[in-house]
Amino acid sequence: MLSRFEGRRVLVTGAGSGIAQGVALRLLAEGAQLVAADVNEAGLQSTVEATPADQRDRLHTLRLDVADPASVTATVAAAVEFLGGLDVLVNGAGIMRAGHTHELPLETWTQVITVNLTGTFLVTQAAIPHLIEHQRGVVVNFSSTSAFGSVPYMAAYAASKAGVNAFTHAIALEYVKKGLRAVNIVPGGIATGLTSGLDLPADADWSLIARLPGWIEGGALGKPEDVAGAVAMVASDDGRYMTGTELRVDGGALM
Ligand SMILES: NC(=O)c1ccc[n+]([C@@H]2O[C@H](COP(=O)([O-])OP(=O)(O)OC[C@H]3O[C@@H](n4cnc5c(N)ncnc54)[C@H](O)[C@@H]3O)[C@@H](O)[C@H]2O)c1
């Protein structure tokens, strides 16, 4: 195993499940000091249990609701205190809700935009002053193939992820002279709670959903660790020439 994160201080949101849990485990294995934050405390406990015993002293967990500005402020401050600063932020928290767009309740639209887009903004905003302190900060955000290739029944989700793309590009340029890099990871078809819980309408037309999943391994879903390896590369010095860009990890879904 590489050790690219020795001495690096990392905050991962959404780290109680799926892709971001995989990212947390990968960065810990590579030597990171890491705060895993999530609204789901049972999920955080599962992250602790999945962490090898000899790495647990470098892991700290915090309850965080990215949709709640007060929770974000308190959690980022607590994370910075535990870590003694911040070098890498991974905005992994996210939700997906599906439905016919003409029937989608405003509450559902607002919830998806609030968690995925506003949540990414709030955590990043609180973290930036710390990330730019040492001229080597990295923000990794989570977009989705749905923001690039059309996916039916997920208009709110796709719009939130397109917003994340633009947000990432904007901060990448705004803080480039402060040494901050910001990159979008674009997963597609990864086996997590998000994909297994996909609540498509009962009368969904599957011929419109042909892009999912990808093509690799006969169309099998990818694993969180497949995305974690890409995040580790981007967030480490191996990704030092990458900013304001996207990295697709989708089994070829968009090709
Ligand atoms: N799984 C895929 O195929 C796929 C594809 C494209 C993009 N993504 C994105 O990757 C990211 C991770 O998704 P996943 O598939 O691992 O899903 P997941 O459901 O397994 O994990 C998401 C985590 O986010 C947490 N979370 C939700 N709302 C939160 C809130 N308000 N505050 C804090 N934490 C919150 C959940 O508790 C959960 O632990 C998401 O942004 C998702 O949109 C996933």
Residue having the nearest C-alpha atom to atom 17 of ligand 1: 194
SS3 string of the chain?
A: CCCCCCCCEEEEECCCCHHHHHHHHHHHHCCCEEEEEECCHHHHHHHHHHCCHHHHHHEEEEECCCCCHHHHHHHHHHHHHHHCCCCEEEECCCCCCCCCHHHCCHHHHHHHHHHHHHHHHHHHHHHHHHHCCCCCCEEEEECCHHHCCCCCCCHHHHHHHHHHHHHHHHHHHHCHHHCCEEEEEEECCECCHHHHCCCCCCCCCHHHHCCCCCCHHHHCCECHHHHHHHHHHHHCHHHCCCCCEEEEECCCCCC
Percent of the chain with pLDDT strictly greater than 90: 88
Measure 136 CA to ligand 1 centroid, in angstroms: 26
pLDDT of residue 150: 82
- For the ranges 42-46, 175-179, 208-212, 234-238, the lowest mean pLDDT is seen at 208-212
Report whether residue 118 contacts ligand 1, using a CB cutoff of 6 Å. no
| Mean pLDDT, rounded, for 159-178 | 98
pLDDT at res. 212: 60
Minimal-distance CA residue to ligand 1 atom 20:
18
Average pLDDT over the chain reads 95
The CA distance from 147 to 187, in Å, is 11
Q: How many CA atoms lie within 13 A of 84 on its CB side?
A: 5
Q: Which of 71, 113, 192 to mutate to test the pocket of ligand 1 (most atoms within 8 A of CB)?
A: 192
Would you please indicate which residues are annotated as catalytic (active-site) residues?
157
pLDDT digits (tens, 9 = 90+) for 186-219: 999 999 999 888 889 999 998 887 656 667 777 7
Distance, CA of 75 to CA of 124 (rounded, Å)? 12
For residues 6-15, give the mean pLDDT. 98
Segment 87-93 mean pLDDT: 98
pLDDT for 220: 79
Q: Is the pLDDT of residue 125 over 70?
A: yes
For residue 192, the CA-to-ligand 1 centroid distance in Å is 8
Average pLDDT of 130-155? 95
CA of 92 to the centre of ligand 1 (A): 6
Q: Which of 189, 160, 208, 165 is nearest to 254 (CA)?
A: 189
Tell which wins on pLDDT, 78 or 196.
78
pTM above 0.95, yes or no: yes
pLDDT at residue 214, as a whole number: 67
